[in-house]
Amino acid sequence: MSAGTLYDKVWELHRVADLPGGSTQLFIGLHLIHEVTSPQAFAALRDLGLTVRHPELTVATVDHIVPTTSQARPFADPLAEAMLATLEANCAEHGITLHGLGSGRQGIVHVIAPELGLTQPGMTVACGDSHTSTHGAFGAIAFGIGTSQVRDVLASQSLAMNKLKVRRIWVEGTLQPGVYAKDLVLHVIRTLGVKGGVGYAYEFAGPAIDALSMEERMTLCNMAIEGGARVGYCNPDATTFAYLQGRPHAPAGEAWERAVAWWSSLASGPDAVFDDEVRFDAATIAPTVTWGITPGQGIGVDESVPTLEQTPAEERPLAEEAYRYMDLVPGGPIAGLPVDVCFIGSCTNGRLSDLRAAAAVAQGRRVAPGIKAFVVPGSEQVAAAAEAEGLDAVFRAAGFEWREPGCSMCLAMNPDRLEGRQISASSSNRNFKGRQGSASGRTLLMSPAMVAAAAIAGHVADVRELVAVAPSSPSDR
């Protein structure tokens, strides 16, 4: 059993009570809500005659259903309009801060909470969205929940939870130019499988993790859930503190010094005990692309789609389903596969450093004829920062559309979607059948720089050939 890890320490600090069923009542320090998974929770609260226990620890935004072309109200889609209106009414009734459209702070929930300094080390963070694991980048214990649990957090600021085991993912070496945190996490999931992390929290540690920027750590932790791990985290360090200092909700003055001391004390110690450990070498990882219908079906861009013979027996039915659905020939190269749509954005890769990496590839080049390519900043703040340094102009000049912030085509609960059997190069997190809005649409997951390279080439291309030395994180390293 794990001991002395950040996960153990934060768990103990937030333990409210042991419940008769055997689970633990865990206090939730930050509850993030959005329009998709909260309306039924507020309705249930009303039915139970309860109210929101800590509205000041609850923060809302709107992201999944917002259009990314025109965000004028009312939305053209009456269902989307009804969902936002319901969120607005619920927040007003219960005194919850809503970072709405045009506030300057709206965006994808997992982008705005970090950039506002709401997410901090040592917190427990819950949200009705599986990619809540993103916030673990700060050394928080953050996890996705369902709507009944959203109701529970609203009512009690706590949840009935069972403690996870902790697996340390130790990464040595240095990511090569053109290889990003997205490639690292796709490589981890490819190696450990999409259910390898079930029952575990993933602690990402080691020299390669220490060298990552906060935005890269967020990309990494964001996709822990795609490897089955509900929680993924990095230990807080100087990089974490430098990111947080000066943000609107970060402590300041003397409180800052006390905060840094407390945060530092939470990191997994040298004598921490883990339930399991797996080691990787960052230097051996290539730009990685998914070829199939789960995030675990990934290969290096210089590799070929695995044949049935190369696939373990228990994974063969899924591989055969993927060949059929994706219309791919086993044994064929992934590089050169034509794409129709190129999407840069999402809670995985919609931050400023992601847009910079993609813009570095797009700079001075043109999107290939017939390709629809678009960039969706993760938040209004990301959009403003990108525009201030001219990234929007770089993308537009190259033939990309520059959109308004939202979840967009990651899950297509808005007008952005694939049509028919279109195939996308996507910087998002899921390549499930039908995920991007067409029941037969196909998705290739990759880094934002690789999406830009695919847009320029018109097919899957190795970004290392387009940008000889692309700094993987020019933003805040």
Partner 1 sequence: MSTLSTPVAAPEPFPAGPVQRLQGRGLAVVGNDIDTDRIIPARFLKCVTFDGLAEGAFADDRTELAGAHPFDRAEHQGATILVVNDNFGCGSSREHAPQALMRWGIRAVIGESFAEIFFGNCLALGIPCLTASPADAAALQRAIAATPAALLRLDLEALRVQLDPQASAGTSASASLDLPLQLAEGPHRMLVSGQWDGTSQLVAHDAELRATASRLPYLAGFAA
Q: Which residues 350-369 are close enough to bind partner 1 by CB under 8 A?
A: none
Q: CB under 8 A: which stretch of 101-109, 145-153, 362-370, 393-401 binds partner 1?
A: 145-153
Q: Min. distance of Cβ 384 from partner 1 in angstroms? A: 28
Nearer Cβ to partner 1, position 257 or 302? 257
At 437, is the secondary structure helix, strand, or coil? coil
Distance CA 61, CA 45 (A): 20
Q: Min. distance of Cβ 397 from partner 1 in angstroms? A: 33
Q: What angle do CA 53, 59, 61 make, to 5 degrees?
A: 140
Taking the alpha carbons at both ends of the chain, their separation in whole angstroms is: 35
Q: Min. distance of Cβ 203 from partner 1 in angstroms? A: 17
Indicate which single residue of 2, 5, 68, 158 sits in contact with partner 1 (rule: CB under 8 A): 158
Distance CA 390, CA 363 (A): 11
Strand partners, 26: 15, 159
Distance CA 341, CA 428 (A): 13
Site for partner 1 in 42-101 (CB under 8 A): 43, 48, 50, 53, 57, 64-65, 77, 79-80, 82-83, 86
CA count, 13 A, side-chain hemisphere, 423: 19
Q: Which two tokens stand for residue 407?
A: 């979840």
Q: Min. distance of Cβ 258 from partner 1 in angstroms? A: 4
Q: Where are the beta strands (DSSP E) in 145-199?
A: 158-161, 165-172
Q: Which two tokens stand for residue 320?
A: 């055969």
Q: Min. distance of Cβ 343 from partner 1 in angstroms? A: 15
Site for partner 1 in 119-138 (CB under 8 A): 120, 122-123, 128-130, 132
Q: Min. distance of Cβ 329 from partner 1 in angstroms? A: 22
Q: Tokens 């001991």 appear where?
A: 3
Q: Min. distance of Cβ 65 from partner 1 in angstroms? A: 7
Distance CA 379, CA 468 (A): 30
- The contact pattern for partner 1, residues 439-468, with x = CB under 8 A and - = no contact, is xx----------------------------
Indicate which single residue of 6, 32, 33, 36 sits in contact with partner 1 (rule: CB under 8 A): 36
Distance CA 60, CA 76 (A): 22
Q: Min. distance of Cβ 176 from partner 1 in angstroms? A: 30
Nearer Cβ to partner 1, position 14 or 372? 14
Helices 214-222, 181-192: axis angle to 10 degrees equals: 30
Indicate which single residue of 3, 194, 211, 278 sits in contact with partner 1 (rule: CB under 8 A): 194
Indicate which single residue of 67, 144, 232, 378 sits in contact with partner 1 (rule: CB under 8 A): 144
Nearer Cβ to partner 1, position 254 or 309? 254
Distance CA 114, CA 133 (A): 12
Nearer Cβ to partner 1, position 199 or 333? 199
Q: Tokens 């939470």 appear where?
A: 266
Nearer Cβ to partner 1, position 160 or 328? 160
Indicate which single residue of 31, 32, 39, 466 sits in contact with partner 1 (rule: CB under 8 A): 39
Nearer Cβ to partner 1, position 237 or 315? 315
Name 290's Cβ contacts closer than 8 Å, sequence gap at least 6. 186, 297, 298, 299, 431, 443, 444, 445, 446
Q: What angle do CA 423, 221, 65 make, to 5 degrees?
A: 50
At 61, is the secondary structure helix, strand, or coil? strand
Nearer Cβ to partner 1, position 44 or 273? 44
- The contact pattern for partner 1, residues 247-286, with x = CB under 8 A and - = no contact, is ----x--xxx-xx--x------------------------
- The contact pattern for partner 1, residues 218-247, with x = CB under 8 A and - = no contact, is -------xx-x-x-----------------
Contact (Cβ atoms closer than 8 angstroms) between residue 298 and residue 186: yes
At 41, is the secondary structure helix, strand, or coil? helix
Q: Min. distance of Cβ 31 from partner 1 in angstroms? A: 13
Site for partner 1 in 303-332 (CB under 8 A): 314-315, 317-318, 321
Distance CA 395, CA 402 (A): 7
Nearer Cβ to partner 1, position 22 or 370? 22
Distance CA 219, CA 224 (A): 9
Indicate which single residue of 3, 23, 264, 471 sits in contact with partner 1 (rule: CB under 8 A): 23
Residue 304: Cβ-neighbour burial (10 angstroms; 0-12, 13-18, 19+): middle
Indicate which single residue of 8, 63, 115, 152 sits in contact with partner 1 (rule: CB under 8 A): 152
Site for partner 1 in 396-415 (CB under 8 A): 411-413
At 279, is the secondary structure helix, strand, or coil? strand
Site for partner 1 in 417-436 (CB under 8 A): 430, 432-435
Q: CB under 8 A: which stretch of 141-149, 267-275, 329-337, 374-382 binds partner 1?
A: 141-149
Strand partners, 373: 342
Indicate which single residue of 3, 4, 40, 71 sits in contact with partner 1 (rule: CB under 8 A): 40
Name 176's Cβ contacts closer than 8 Å, sequence gap at least 6. 283, 285, 286, 464
Distance CA 30, CA 212 (A): 25
Nearer Cβ to partner 1, position 248 or 364? 248
